[in-house]
A and B are shown apart, each in its own frame.
Chain A
Amino acid sequence: GAGVSQSPSNKVTEKGKDVELRCDPISGHTALYWYRQSLGQGLEFLIYFQGNSAPDKSGLPSDRFSAERTGGSVSTLTIQRTQQEDSAVYLCASSLAAGTGELFFGEGSRLTVL
């Protein structure tokens, strides 16, 4: 498709399990962002990747969270030993160039930790 694709769209897991969320950005977009949106809340920045530069990980809430972007394209956000407070919608966005701030968002992955 032409837009940002995220999978899974919904994930229910048990506390303590690891989860992986995948983001397929728009082809040719050099920048990729991850945000977290809790129910009724704004968008909390997690991490961004820009080309071959080192990612800005300043928003990752703990060392249980990590993300990688392979080959400058697909990105995976991994949450280890999930906690109930990790329940949220995880949004991925890509941009032709990070300096514009013009992000194209996917529909998100809704994570529920029981």
Chain B
Amino acid sequence: GQQLNQSPQSMFIQEGEDVSMNCTSSSIFNTWLWYKQEPGEGPVLLIALYKAGELTSNGRLTAQFGITRKDSFLNISASIPSDVGIYFCAGQPGGSNYKLTFGKGTLLTVNP
């Protein structure tokens, strides 16, 4: 089945630093999404990308849909302590296939 390779697995950074994480797939997706999960809660959608090459921002977060449709990255600028959590990429093939596959996540720790 489809697999998403997400890296890095974890990051430990200082407050104020920028962060970058990415996801690659062995197959094409028509939709890429980024979610954040905090302890004891379900993931929450951060950014959705629907077109190859698309670059979308949400506050300090910026994400891009790779031109090959097989990758995406997420950048967080000027990190703050509340950015702590697990970030997941997710891909959906499209057409009539609505299965959403998630990466294994990037655990982000921000040191104040």
Contact = CB atoms under 8 A, between A and B. Distances in A.
A102 interface: yes
Interface residues of A, number: 26
Given A58-B1, A102-B48, A105-B42, 19 more contacts: A31-B98, A42-B105, A43-B88, A45-B100, A56-B98, A56-B99, A59-B99, A91-B43, A99-B92, A99-B98, A100-B31, A101-B31, A103-B43, A103-B100, A104-B45, A106-B42, A107-B41, A107-B42, A108-B42
B103 interface: yes
20 contacts: A31-B98, A42-B6, A42-B103, A42-B105, A43-B43, A43-B102, A56-B97, A59-B99, A93-B42, A99-B94, A101-B31, A101-B48, A101-B90, A103-B35, A105-B41, A105-B43, A107-B40, A107-B41, A107-B42, A108-B42
Interface of B: 1, 6, 31, 33, 35, 40-45, 48, 88, 90, 92, 94, 97-105
Contacts of B103: 42
